Amino acid sequence: TIEISCKVREKISKSIKIANKTPYEIFYRVETDLTDTISGAPNFSVKANSVYEYVIKCRPLLGKTYFGKIIFHNDSNKTYLWYTISLK
């Protein structure tokens, strides 16, 4: 679980490290159910044998705890990386 704390209407950024240990570049498509509170690039690629820092920007509109997910889909081989998010 990725835990993020911030104040209402405060903008903060959080990075998620995505590693690629393969000898080829991997392309990801991003999906989240927290589109009203977080944003980030809809697509990105990770070069061979490297690490990419995917940055999400958070800005909660209400003073509550948000729970959701962010999924990085690798459509070329039908795999994905799944993270749960807790935004307080």
Residue 42 has pLDDT above 90, yes or no: yes
pLDDT digits (tens, 9 = 90+) for 65-86: 999 999 999 998 999 999 999 9
Long-range Cβ pairs for the range 63-72 (8 Å, 24+)? 63/8, 66/34, 66/37, 68/32, 68/33, 68/34, 68/38, 69/32, 69/33, 69/34, 70/2, 70/16, 70/30, 70/31, 70/32, 70/34, 70/38, 71/30, 71/31, 71/32, 72/18, 72/28, 72/29, 72/30
pTM: 0.90
% of the chain residues with pLDDT over 70: 100
Residue 1 has pLDDT above 90, yes or no: no
Q: What is the per-residue pLDDT for 7?
A: 87
**Mean pLDDT value of segment 54-69:** 92
